[in-house]
Amino acid sequence: MCEFCHKHGEGKKWYLEAKNYSDDLLSDLKRREFIREFFEDPKKLTRGTENLKRLRKAPAYVRAVLEPKLVNRQKKVHYGQVVPIEEVEKIFGFVKSIVRLPCICRQATVGSEQRYCYGVSMLPDDRSRMFELIRAVDADYLTGPHTGGLESLSKEAALANFRELEKKGQCHTVWTFLAPFIGGVCNCDRSDCLAMRATVTFDFPVMFRAEYVAGVDPDLCNGCRACMRACQFGAMGYGIARDKVVIDPRKCFGCGICRANCAKDAIALTERSAVPAAAGLW
């Protein structure tokens, strides 16, 4: 269990606790202001990445002092966790409303509207305050919105989109807006998602690994390497002598994207806590 499971989930998976999506948390005016500011200024994210580049070049002692403080601050405001598709399905099973939103990371990195992010709410429809708030700033941060409002999806349609995206290598993540409130489930990749860049490229974690680790059944694996091409975390290796892939549990983020791209069903996820080499790695 990650730190948030203990702190915000009472020892269970924190992102499966409905109370962390509650309208009561969203009623907090400070949180509402944070969300409004977050969506209003995509350039702030780009500036954050530039700061990380500078931090990376700083002397080791400076990093040693600053990084833990910055990561701890991030955990309080906007932090994520990788979640495999079955956990996304559970989340969509209890939230009452799902809307597809333009991704603020892609707006900052690609400069155009890319609808990879999903806002979730416990209220019965997309007239919730969260979505009113986002709608109010929507037109300001988009270069060319497809619609004037927010795009509501059924649970089935949203899940089908997620399944399609993981075939294309997109890794699912849940996100807080002032912890423990969870307002979104996103689809990330290392090239365009600033959170993944920060975590994987700059070694500055802004999201936890999943509560799972992947493993390969060598009896089923035919060595095609389709899974390796999909893994964004460099966790897979290929052994030419046996013509099989292997997964390094110390590098695996447990996203399950390799599994979605294996035609032989040779990959399965195991609880991270049951894999000693990965149990303490987040």
- Residues of this chain that bind ligand SF4 (CB under 6 A): 214, 216, 221-227, 230-231, 233, 235-236, 245, 247, 252-258, 262, 264, 266-267
- Report the nearest approach of ligand SF4 to the CB of residue 258 (Å): 3
**Cβ closer to ligand SF4: 116 or 212?**
212
DSSP state of 272: G
- Report the nearest approach of ligand SF4 to the CB of residue 184 (Å): 20
d(CA 251, CA 233): 7
**Cβ closer to ligand SF4: 146 or 242?**
242
d(CA 186, CA 165): 11
**Cβ closer to ligand SF4: 158 or 196?**
196
d(CA 245, CA 224): 9
Q: Which residues contact 64 (CB under 8 A, 6 or more apart)?
A: none
- Report the nearest approach of ligand SF4 to the CB of residue 172 (Å): 10
- Report the nearest approach of ligand SF4 to the CB of residue 259 (Å): 7
Residue type, 89: E
**Cβ closer to ligand SF4: 25 or 231?**
231
**Cβ closer to ligand SF4: 101 or 255?**
255
Helix (H/G/I), strand (E/B), else coil: 268: strand
- Report the nearest approach of ligand SF4 to the CB of residue 239 (Å): 11
Strand ranges for 138-218 from DSSP E: 151-153, 171-176, 182-188, 207-208, 212-216
